[in-house]
């Protein structure tokens, strides 16, 4: 309290635990490091399921939204963001991290599908769709799935896996040209068998007509 006030009065901006002082006059720029484009990070994150990039993108998004990239505040900010923008009911989505590796993360198929519909309609729709792994494409996590089915080269989605959990969420074009957002979430033992069921369900959607 007192230290923060003294620093503020001295012209030092205090952001969380980081003290940012004014740049001295005549200071010389020594080095500037620019990140690779966000679209590249998201491509690596989604197609290769890169947990390192996932954590950094999530923290950066939280910092942009609330001024602090933290696990505690980021989870609440994420829940409120999807409540306001995607209509996800409170309690159906809560993040404890960005990668999904924490067993304390919580979501529902309804929440995931609402989030996918929101992303499809958002200004970033095109790069988001392009970032997802494509069924049967050797570049992503769906490289060995859906080969020889109507979903091959058609479905684009994100896989998820930790102990006793296996998921698949994304989009697939139905046989009659309808774009379907879907989310298959499985909790329990025998996740390999669950992947087989999820593959059958994805193929069913790709063959679907109204």
How would DSSP label each residue in 37-74? PHHHHHHHHHHHT-HHHHHHHHHHHHHHHHS---HHHH
Q: Could you give the CA distance from residue 128 to residue 39 in angstroms, rounded to a whole number?
A: 8
How would DSSP label each residue in 74-121? HHHHHHHHHHHHH-PPTTSEE-SSSSS-STT-EE-HHHHHHHHHHHHH
Q: What is the pLDDT of residue 37?
A: 87
Whether the Cβ atoms of residue 77 and residue 63 lie closer than 8 Å to each other: no
Q: What is the pLDDT of residue 36?
A: 85
Question: What is the enclosing helix (H) or strand (E) of 180?
Answer: strand 179-187
CA torsion, ordered 50, 53, 59, 64, to nearest 10 deg: -130
String of b and e for 140-167 (b: at least 16 CB within 10 Å)? bbbeebbeebbbbebbbbbbbbeeebbb
Q: Could you give the CA distance from residue 46 to residue 9 in angstroms, rounded to a whole number?
A: 45
Q: What is the pLDDT of residue 21?
A: 72
Cα 157 from chain centre: 11
Whether the Cβ atoms of residue 160 and residue 150 lie closer than 8 Å to each other: no
Whether the Cβ atoms of residue 42 and residue 54 lie closer than 8 Å to each other: no
Residue 170's beta-bridge partner residues? 157, 182
What tokens were used for 188? 């329990």
Burial of 44 (0-12, 13-18, 19+ CB in 10 A): middle
With a cut of 50, which residues of the chain have pLDDT below it? none
Q: What is the pLDDT of residue 127?
A: 95
Q: Within 10 Å of residue 46's Cβ, how many Cβ atoms?
A: 23
């Amino acid at each position: 309290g007192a230290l923060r006030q003294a620093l503020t009065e001295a012209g030092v901006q205090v952001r969380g635990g980081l003290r940012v002082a004014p740049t001295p006059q005549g200071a010389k720029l020594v080095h500037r490091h620019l990140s690779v484009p966000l679209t590249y990070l998201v491509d690596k994150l989604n197609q290769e399921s890169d947990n390192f990039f996932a954590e950094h993108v999530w923290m950066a998004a939280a910092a942009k939204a609330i001024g602090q990239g933290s696990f505690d505040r980021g989870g609440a900010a994420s829940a409120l963001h999807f409540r306001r923008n995607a209509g996800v009911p409170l309690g159906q989505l809560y993040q404890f991290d960005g990668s999904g590796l924490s067993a304390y993360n919580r979501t529902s198929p309804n929440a995931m599908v609402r989030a996918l519909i929101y992303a499809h309609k958002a200004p970033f729709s095109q790069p988001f769709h392009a970032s997802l792994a494509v069924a049967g494409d050797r570049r992503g996590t769906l490289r060995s799935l859906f080969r020889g089915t109507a979903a091959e080269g058609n479905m684009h989605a994100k896989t998820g896996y930790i102990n006793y959990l296996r998921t698949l969420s994304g989009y697939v074009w139905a046989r009659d040209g309808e774009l379907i957002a879907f989310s298959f979430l499985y909790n329990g033992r025998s996740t390999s068998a669950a992947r087989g069921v999820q593959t059958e369900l994805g193929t069913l959607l790709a063959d679907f007509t109204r």
